[in-house]
Amino acid sequence: MAKLPAEGTQARRFGKTRSAQSTALLEDYVELIADLLASAGEARPTDIARRLGVSHATAVKTVSRLKRAGLATARPYRGVFLTEKGQALADRVRVRHRIVVDLLCALGVPRESAEADAEGIEHHVSETTLKAFAHFLKVRV
């Protein structure tokens, strides 16, 4: 049986995971909102709810959380828009997503599976690991 890591080390690891889970939701929302704005010109809570597979009330509640975090604004009858801070986060999340998908595909994972798996991995991978993924992909080419 493997030896347990030091308590502080293990607590930091679990704390990092809990923090990533908390921010993953907001990251998914800003990424989707950016995609909806780019493709349809608007991001309505109804569309957000349908695409994320959540209730309309859940989408509205999370959009309120985005607004409180300074990531989005919403206007009656006009939908949801990202602030500069929200757009910057969406751009960072999209880059992380692409790197993870590209790495999984390079390992032989079919694209559809890679896209689905990246949705979880992209929120939990550290910047150090993400840089290693990017370096691997660059060297491999």
Domain boundaries, the chain: 19-83, 89-140
Identify the residue whose tokens are 């757009």: 87
Q: Residue 133: which residues within 8 A CB-CB, separation 6 or more?
A: 99, 100, 103, 125
Q: 10-20 pLDDT, tens per residue? A: 777 776 666 66
State residue 77's pLDDT score.
79
State residue 96's pLDDT score.
94
Q: 85-128 pLDDT, tens per residue? A: 999 999 999 999 999 999 999 999 999 999 999 988 998 888 99
Given a cut of 80, is residue 130 above it in pLDDT? yes
Q: Of the given ranges (1-15, 19-33, 35-49, 71-85), which has the lowest mean pLDDT?
A: 1-15
- In the predicted model, what is the mean pLDDT of residues 65-73? 96
Amino acid at 14: F
State residue 31's pLDDT score.
95
Q: Class of 19-83 per CATH?
A: mainly alpha
Q: Which residue has the higher pLDDT, 69 or 2?
A: 69
**Average per-residue pLDDT for the chain:** 91
CATH (residue range 89-140): 1.10.60.10
Q: Which residues pair with 17 in a beta bridge?
A: none
Q: Are 31 and 90 in contact (CB under 8 A)?
A: yes
**DSSP secondary structure string, 90-116?**
HHHHHHHHHHHHHHHHHTT--HHHHHH
